[in-house]
């Protein structure tokens, strides 16, 4: 870390930062470059962090089948993958990711907005329910074949509507489906 200081007071973080700057400016001698390379010196900590995170995200997906990494998830060696994923989402929203990185993360199946993704998935279940039953009167205890609690989701939308927490777009989408706002 940039602020790391050894027990005897040597500002190692600053020293490393200076070596990186000297290297980028082409003023670091080949013998020093070789010596630092031999130690496994990281010349670009930001790129190294990205590549480590990407590697861990691939392993997470292989183990879990998706990229829905909980915020608090950390790897066995202490890499905070949940935070890394959250930061990539923030970078994406602020348009701070290169198209290459966006494509790589898209190819892995990273969901940029989980809340919207989940909402659209639930909406798909509601559309399927209507196609099968002819209406949107989903009983509260109704679950889809794969266990999604559609009845609870519908009840939550009614509550949000009553508390004026639904956006006009979502209200219009549900109205277009023939959503029933009140069971009375």
pLDDT of 39 above 80: yes
pTM (global) more than 0.85: no
Q: Which two tokens stand for residue 103?
A: 């494509």
For all residues of the chain together, what is the average pLDDT? 95
Smallest Cα–Cα separation from 88: which of 73, 66, 72, 104? 104
Contact 151, 141 (CB under 8 A): yes
Q: What is the mean pLDDT of residues 9-31?
A: 95
B/e letters for 59-74, b = 16+ CB within 10 Å, e = fewer, are ebbeeeeebbbeeebe
Condensed to tens digits (0 to 9), the pLDDT of residues 122-181 reads: 999 999 999 999 999 999 999 999 999 999 999 999 999 999 999 999 999 999 999 989
């Amino acid at each position: 870390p940039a602020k790391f200081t050894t027990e005897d007071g040597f500002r190692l973080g600053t020293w490393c930062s200076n070596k990186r700057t000297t290297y980028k400016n082409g003023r670091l001698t080949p013998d020093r470059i070789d010596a630092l390379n031999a130690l496994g010196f990281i010349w670009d900590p930001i790129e190294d962090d990205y590549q480590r995170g990407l590697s861990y995200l691939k392993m997470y997906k292989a183990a879990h089948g998706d990229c829905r990494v909980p915020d608090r998830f950390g790897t066995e060696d202490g890499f905070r993958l949940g935070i890394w994923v959250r930061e990539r989402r923030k970078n994406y929203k602020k348009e701070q990711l290169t198209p290459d990185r966006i494509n790589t993360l898209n190819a892995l199946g990273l969901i940029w907005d989980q809340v919207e993704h989940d909402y659209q998935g639930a909406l798909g279940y509601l559309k399927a329910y209507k196609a099968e039953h002819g209406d949107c009167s989903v009983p509260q205890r109704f679950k889809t074949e794969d266990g999604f609690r559609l009845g609870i989701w519908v009840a939550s939308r009614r509550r949000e509507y009553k508390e004026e927490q639904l956006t006009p777009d979502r209200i219009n989408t549900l109205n277009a489906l023939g959503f029933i706002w009140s069971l009375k």
